[in-house]
Amino acid sequence: MNETIVTDIPFNLDLPGLLKKLRIDGRPEYAERCTRLARQAAGLARPRAAYRLAYVEAKGENTVVVDGVTLTSRVLRVNLGDVHRVFPFVATCGAELDAWSKSIDDMLEGFWADAIMEEALRAAFDALSADLVRRYDLGQTAMMNPGSLADWPIEQQAELFRILGGVNEQIGVKLTDSFLMVPIKSVSGLRFPTETKYENCQLCPRDPCPNRRAPYDAGLYERQYSPAKSKPSSQ
């Protein structure tokens, strides 16, 4: 059994931090409404995550085969270099908060609910990371997510979910026909050990992006990933 389901994740919402982030900490009427929502959400939230240990079985120029499923991405191929163990994962805020947010009609409260769900997703992702690093004694890791870069498009979610198996049954995350996840506040990807720090953002020119984790490096693809310039190791 290579699958791990992470449940019973504590959701300790940092309320002052949330109000500040939403820029309503100095507006008592808004702060009170948002606090009421946050308390409702905290009582309902069941963030969850699932991941599994999987093995890289073969590598091509722009592909890697993981547990029998072919993933197509030049960047992923190069990043995996000589890596053999990878960890596909999904983390989610949970279906309970998703249903709760859909019951909110007020636009402003809907916006706040969105931010609360993102905090629940963050709790799920942090719990998954801690479990993974502890269980497999990993050092530095990096991750890639289908849809983050044109090089690894959103359609590849289908392949990632095939490797993971029953994510819907395990943690209630489904893929739509357009490969988006439901609940929408979910994140999927492939995590892998690495000696070189890597963030998708280094290859993504989107500006501005509120979630940017590393500066854009306009020459990185050409230097490191261009098939003409780099020859990844083969298996």
Q: Is 218 in the site for ligand SF4 (CB under 6 A)?
A: no
Among the candidate windows 52-60, 176-184, 205-213, 217-225, which touches ligand SF4 by CB under 6 A? 205-213
Q: Is 42 in the site for ligand SF4 (CB under 6 A)?
A: no
Other CB atoms within a 10 A radius of the CB of residue 155 amount to: 12
Q: Name residues contacting ligand SF4, limited to 95-124 (CB under 6 A).
A: none
How many Å separate Cα 54 from the centre of its chain? 17
Among 12, 178, 211, 234, binds ligand SF4 (CB under 6 A): 211
Q: Minimal distance in Å, beta carbon 148 to ligand SF4?
A: 5
Question: Rounded to 5 degrees, what angle do the CA atoms 119, 132, 90 make?
Answer: 50
Which long-range contacts link 61-70 to residues 24+ away (Cβ below 8 Å)? Answer: 61/227, 61/232, 62/227, 66/163, 66/190, 67/163, 69/159, 69/162, 69/163, 70/159
What SS3 state is found at 100?
Answer: helix
Q: Minimal distance in Å, beta carbon 200 to ligand SF4?
A: 4
Q: Is 223 in the site for ligand SF4 (CB under 6 A)?
A: no
Among 206, 218, 222, 223, binds ligand SF4 (CB under 6 A): 206
Q: Considering beta carbons, is residue 139 or 210 the nearer one to ligand SF4?
A: 210
Among the candidate windows 7-15, 36-44, 132-140, 201-209, which touches ligand SF4 by CB under 6 A? 201-209
Cite the beta strand spans of the chain per DSSP E.
Answer: 3-6, 48-52, 54-59, 63-66, 69-72, 85-92, 141-144, 174-175, 181-182, 186-193
Q: Name residues contacting ligand SF4, limited to 130-149 (CB under 6 A).
A: 148
Q: Considering beta carbons, is residue 4 or 145 the nearer one to ligand SF4?
A: 145
Distance CA 136, CA 186 (A): 23
Beta-carbon contacts of 196 under 8 Å, excluding residues fewer than 6 positions away, are: 142
What residue has token string 């500006």?
Answer: 207
Q: Is 204 in the site for ligand SF4 (CB under 6 A)?
A: yes
Residue 110, token pair as written in the block: 């809907």
Q: Considering beta carbons, is residue 15 or 154 the nearer one to ligand SF4?
A: 154
Q: Minimal distance in Å, beta carbon 208 to ligand SF4?
A: 9
Nearest in space to 54 (alpha carbons), one of 192, 214, 171, 170? 192
Distance CA 39, CA 42 (A): 5
Among 131, 212, 220, 221, binds ligand SF4 (CB under 6 A): 212
Among 209, 227, 229, 233, binds ligand SF4 (CB under 6 A): 209
Q: Is 200 in the site for ligand SF4 (CB under 6 A)?
A: yes
Q: Is 5 in the site for ligand SF4 (CB under 6 A)?
A: no
Asked if 64 and 76 touch (Cβ cutoff 8 Å), the reply is yes
List of residues contacting ligand SF4 (CB under 6 A): 148, 200-201, 204, 206, 209, 211-212
